[in-house]
Amino acid sequence: MINRKPLEASLTAVKSAFPKAKPKMGMILGSGLSEVAESFEQLGVLSYAKIPGLGKAGVAGHAGKLVWGKSAGIETFIFQGRRHVYEGVGWEAVATPLFLLKSLGAKAVFLTNAAGGTNPKWTPGNLMIIEDHINMMGITPLLGAHDTFWGPRFPDQSFIYDRQLRAALARAGRAAKVALRKGVYFAGTGPTYETPAEVRAWRALGADAVGMSTVPEAMLANAAGLRVVGLSCITNMAAGILDQPLTHEEVFETSQQAMANMKKLILQFWQELAKEKI
Ligand code: HPA
Q: Going residue by residue through the chain (278 aa), what tens digit of pLDDT does each one get?
A: 899 999 999 999 999 999 999 999 999 998 788 889 999 999 999 999 999 999 865 556 667 899 999 999 999 999 998 899 999 889 999 999 999 999 999 999 999 999 999 999 999 999 999 999 999 999 999 999 999 999 999 999 999 999 999 999 999 999 999 999 999 999 999 999 999 999 999 999 999 999 999 999 999 999 999 999 999 999 999 999 999 999 999 999 999 999 999 999 999 999 999 998 88
The predicted pLDDT at position 77 comes to 98
- Tell me whether residue 136 is in a domain: yes
Q: CA 215, CA 28: separation in Å to the nearest integer?
A: 12
217 in any annotated domain: yes
In a domain? residue 61: yes
pLDDT recorded at residue 57:
55
Active-site annotation holds for 114: yes
CATH of the domain at 29: 3.40.50.1580
End-to-end CA distance of the chain: 31
CA distance 17 to 198: 45
CA of 256 to the centre of ligand 1 (A): 15
Q: What angle do CA 271, 108, 156 make, to 5 degrees?
A: 140
Give the DSSP letter of residue 242. B
Burial 7-44 (b: 16+ CB within 10 A, else e): beebbebbeebbeebebbbbbbbbbbbbbbbebbeeee
Residue type at position 201: A
Amino acid at residue number 36: V
Residue-wise pLDDT tens digits, 253-276: 999 999 999 999 999 999 999 998
Residue 190 resides in a domain: yes
Q: What is the pLDDT of residue 29?
A: 94
Q: Which of 82, 119, 203, 212 to mutate to test the pocket of ligand 1 (most atoms within 8 A of CB)?
A: 212
For 19-51, what is each residue's pLDDT tens digit? 999 999 999 998 788 889 999 999 999 999 999
Give residue 97 CA to ligand 1 midpoint distance, Å.
22
258 in a structural domain: no
Q: Measured in angstroms, how far is the CA atom of residue 147 from the centroid of ligand 1? A: 32
Is 58 part of any domain?
yes
Residue 16 counted as domain residue: no
pLDDT at 55: 81
Single out the residue of 6, 217, 231 nearest to residue 94, CA to CA: 217
Structural domain harbouring 104: 24-114+122-194+205-249
CA-wise closest residue to 228 among 151, 141, 129, 142? 129
Residue nearest to atom 2 of ligand 1 (CA): 211
CA distances from 99 to 6, 36, 121, 270 (A): 10, 22, 38, 22
pLDDT of res. 59: 59
pTM (predicted TM-score)? 0.96
pLDDT at 271: 97
Catalytic residue among 13, 21, 25, 31: 31
Number of domains in the chain: 1
Residue 272: half-sphere exposure toward Cβ, Cα within 13 Å? 19
Q: Assess if residue 185 is contained within a domain.
A: yes
